[in-house]
Amino acid sequence: MKLSKLLSIGCVSIAAAVCALPAAAAAPAVAAKSQECACVPGQATPASYTWDFKGEANTIFKDIQFEAQQSVFDADALDGASRAGLTWYSQGGYLEDLKTDVDNIGKKLCRLETIRSVVAPWQQRVIDRIAASTVLMADNTEDAMNFGNIHQRELWLATYRNYVHNLFDEAEKLQQSTGRAVSFATVSKEYREEVKSL
Q: pLDDT of 173-197, one tens digit each?
A: 999 999 999 998 887 665 455 545 5
Distance of CA 55 to the CA centre of its chain: 20
Q: pLDDT of 19-58, one tens digit each?
A: 444 434 433 333 333 334 456 555 555 555 556 788 899 9
Q: pLDDT of 144-163, one tens digit each?
A: 999 999 988 888 888 999 99
Q: What is the structure's pLDDT at 38?
A: 55
Q: What is the structure's pLDDT at 167?
A: 93
Locate the domains of the chain by residue range.
Answer: 3-36+53-197
Q: pLDDT of 159-168, one tens digit each?
A: 999 999 999 9
Q: Tell me the pLDDT band of 1, cut-offs 50, 70 and 90.
A: very low
pTM: 0.71
Predicted confidence (pLDDT) at residue 10 exceeds the cutoff of 90: no
Q: pLDDT of 78-135, one tens digit each?
A: 999 998 988 998 898 999 999 999 999 999 999 999 888 889 899 999 999 999 999 9
Residue-wise burial string across 50-74, b where 16 or more C-beta atoms lie within 10 A, e elsewhere: eeebbeebbebbebbbbbbbbbbeb
| E-state strands within the chain | none
CATH number belonging to domain 3-36+53-197:
1.20.1420
Is the CB of residue 47 less than 8 Å from the CB of residue 74?
A: no
Q: Tell me the pLDDT band of 198, cut-offs 50, 70 and 90.
A: low
Q: What is the structure's pLDDT at 164?
A: 93
DSSP string, 163-198: HHHHHHHHHHHHHHHHHHHHHHHHHHHHHHHHHHH-
